[in-house]
Amino acid sequence: MTQVKMTVNGKAASGDVEGRTLLASFLRESLGLTGTHIGCDTSQCGACLVHVNGEAIKACTMLAVEAEGADVKTIESMANADGSLNVIQQAFQDHHGLQCGFCTPGMIMSASALLKDNPKPTEAEVRHYLDGNICRCTGYHNIVKAIMAASGQDVSALAAE
């Protein structure tokens, strides 16, 4: 067992982990941050996507010990300070960008990283960026709409209902 220390959602966090423990498992099991989900074992689905030092990282691609000293943000930190939904989360609710909710934390974290780098993405750019996030419920239609709406674009004409 090795002790790891990092900052998670603005607070100091530490725990004893095996060398093989993934960051995703550390967040869920040691820290109880179960909003980060695990949907596959080949780093394909993106349900475990978090931000590590400001970068979008699938938490199943990183060992917990590799995150020593890192600044980690998870879905639990994304709402506004008063607990209300942030702009991206609100757009997902407004545009029905989620159904079962399992891929949703990864989608929100991914969308947040996208909009930081590309504040007004095109439809094609959104779809391309989401290549590493699989959703089985929505057919992506409303996720793409929600992300474009969160970026301040008018989506009413984009997709007929």
What is the H or E stretch that residue 126 is in?
helix 123-129
Nearest in space to 38 (alpha carbons), one of 53, 57, 59, 19:
59
Q: Return the residue of 16, 18, 66, 68 that touches other proteins, per CB under 8 A.
A: 18
The verdict on 118 binding other proteins (CB under 8 A) reads no
Q: Show contacts with other proteins in window 27-46 (CB under 8 A).
A: 28-29, 33-42, 44-45
The verdict on 116 binding other proteins (CB under 8 A) reads no
Least distance in Å: CB of 119 to other proteins?
19
DSSP letter for each residue of 57-78: EETTSSBGGGGTT-EEE-GGG-
Which C-beta is closer to other proteins: that of 36 or that of 151?
A: 36
In a 3-state reduction of DSSP, which class is residue 98? coil
The verdict on 26 binding other proteins (CB under 8 A) reads no
